[in-house]
Amino acid sequence: MTTNAPASRHPHDDPARPLLTTPFTARTDAREVIAGVDLTGRRAVVTGGASGLGAETVRALAEAGAEVTVAVRRPEAAEPLVRESAAVDGAGPVRTAPLDLSDLTSVDAFVRNWRGPLDILVANAGIMALPERTLTPQGWEMQLATNYLGHFALATGLHPALCEAGSARIVVVSSGAHLATPFDFDDPHFERRPYDPWTAYGQSKSADVLLAAGAHRWATDGITANALNPGYILTGLQRHLDDATMRAFGVMDDEGNLTPLPYYKTPAQGAATSVLLAASPLLEGVTGRYFEDNQEARLVTDEENPTAGVAAHAVDPRAADRLWEYATQALRTR
C-alpha cells in the first residue's frame, strides 16, 4: 500500500502525490475489505440500505460489529435485512428509519430524531435516468435532489453528530457517469436546456464527487469524506430503464432475463469500495478523493474521452466550493 502523507486542503492540487493503493481488487467483496476490523461501538447510517449495494454495505458493517441504521423511504422493506442480521453471531444491531431524500421535510425529521454521535455516513441511495423531467416540491430536478441535494442536507444536518464522533467518515456513492457531465451552474434543473435522463444523472453524480471534495472544510472537525464509483452491477437502480435499453446495453435477453456481462460485479463486490472507505484502517485520515475497484482513481481530462478515472471537473476545488455555497443557499431558500 502506498504510504499517505497528511491530506492537503484539496488532494488533487498536488499532481506529484502518489495515488493511494490497497491490496484489494475489483473482485474483492465487501466483507473481505474489512476482514478482522472490529467496529463494535461505531454507529453508521446507510441511505438506501434495504437492497442492492446498500444492503451489502449494511451486512458488512453490521457483521463487523457496527450499529447500523438503514435509512430508506419504506422502512418495512429493510425488515428482512434486520431479521437476517439479528441472526448473525456478533453482529451489531441493525435498525430502520424513514428517509426520503427528495423530501426535505423527511430529511429534517431524520436529523431531528438522531441522537448521539455518528461515525459513518454512507450516502448510497440514488435514482437513475428518470425518463421525464420530474420536480420536487422545491422545484428541484428529481435526480439532483435525490442523489445530491438530499444527501447534502443530510450530511450538513448531521454535522454535529459527525463532529461528536471525533473521527467520522462520509462515503458518497457516485458513478462513472460523472465523467461526461460537469455540473451546470447556469441551469442545474433543466429549466431552459432540454431535459436528458443521462445528462441529469451524470450531473448529479458529478455533484456527488464535488460533495466529497467540498467537505475539506470539515477536516479540522475530524471528518473525512471520499467518493467512489462502485462499477457495473445489476441492482434496482436500473428500474427506470425499459427493456429495449437493457437489451441495447447487452444485459437482457429476448425473454427478458437479466444477463450480466463478464465485467459486471456482484452487489457484494460493488459494495466493497463503499465499505473500504467507510471502515478500513487503510483510509484513516484520507479525504477528498475518488476511488474505484478499491483503489484511488486516476485524474483524467475531458479530452481523453475516459471510461474510468475521476474527471477534473468533479474534483475542481473552485467548483466544489461553488457547489457547496449553491446547495447551502438552495436549502435556505427552499
In the set 201, 263, 290, 326, the catalytic residue is 201
Long-range contacts of 105-108 (CB under 8 A, 24+ apart): 107/150, 107/153, 107/154, 107/157, 108/153, 108/157
3-state secondary structure of 175: coil
Virtual CA dihedral for 22, 47, 323, 331, nearest 10 degrees? -160
Indicate whether 254 pLDDT > 80.
no
Mean predicted confidence (pLDDT) in 282-298: 97
Alpha-carbon distance of 52 to 50, in angstroms, equals 7
Mean predicted confidence (pLDDT) in 263-283: 94
- Averaged pLDDT of the chain: 90
Residue type, position 48, single letter: G
Distances (CA, A) of 47 to 66, 182, 249, 289, 316: 15, 24, 27, 20, 26
Indicate whether 2 pLDDT > 50.
no
pLDDT at 276: 98
> First and final CA of the chain: distance in angstroms?
45
Q: C-alpha cell of 87?
A: 441472526
**pLDDT tens column, 293-334:** 999 999 998 778 788 999 999 999 999 999 999 999 999 987
Angle at 87 between CA 119 and CA 100, to 5 degrees: 50
**pLDDT tens column, 141-176:** 999 999 999 999 999 999 999 999 999 999 999 999
- DSSP state, residue 51: S
Indicate if 201 belongs to the active site: yes
Other CB atoms within 10 Å distance of the CB of residue 192: 8
Indicate whether 237 pLDDT > 50.
yes
pLDDT at 11: 57
Residues contacting residue 243 through CB under 8 Å, at least 6 positions apart:
252, 256
Mean predicted confidence (pLDDT) in 4-16: 50
Using only C-alpha atoms, the chain has a radius of gyration, in whole angstroms, of: 19
Q: Lowest-confidence range among 89-103, 151-165, 191-205, 257-271? A: 257-271
Q: In this predicted model, which residue has the larger pLDDT, 15 or 39?
A: 39
Domains contained in the chain, CATH given: 30-331 (3.40.50.720)
The answer for 283, left when phi > 0, alpha when psi is -120 to 50, beta otherwise, is: alpha
Q: In this predicted model, which residue has the larger pLDDT, 84 or 129?
A: 84
% of the chain with per-residue pLDDT over 90: 78
Alpha-carbon distance of 2 to 244, in angstroms, equals 44
**pLDDT tens column, 70-107:** 999 999 999 999 999 999 999 999 999 999 999 999 99
The residue written with cell numbers 442545474 in the block is 188
330 burial type by CB count under 10 A (0-12 exposed, 13-18 middle, 19+ buried): buried
Indicate whether 246 pLDDT > 60.
no
DSSP string, 183-230: --SS-TT-SSSPP-HHHHHHHHHHHHHHHHHHGGGGGGGTEEEEEEE-
pLDDT at 5: 33
Residues contacting residue 264 through CB under 8 Å, at least 6 positions apart:
231, 232, 233, 234, 251
pTM above 0.85, yes or no: yes
pLDDT at 58: 98
E strand map for 64-105:
67-72, 94-98
Distances (CA, A) of 240 to 62, 73, 195, 245, 304: 30, 17, 16, 10, 30
Mean predicted confidence (pLDDT) in 184-193: 97
Up-side HSE of residue 308: CA atoms within 13 Å toward CB? 11
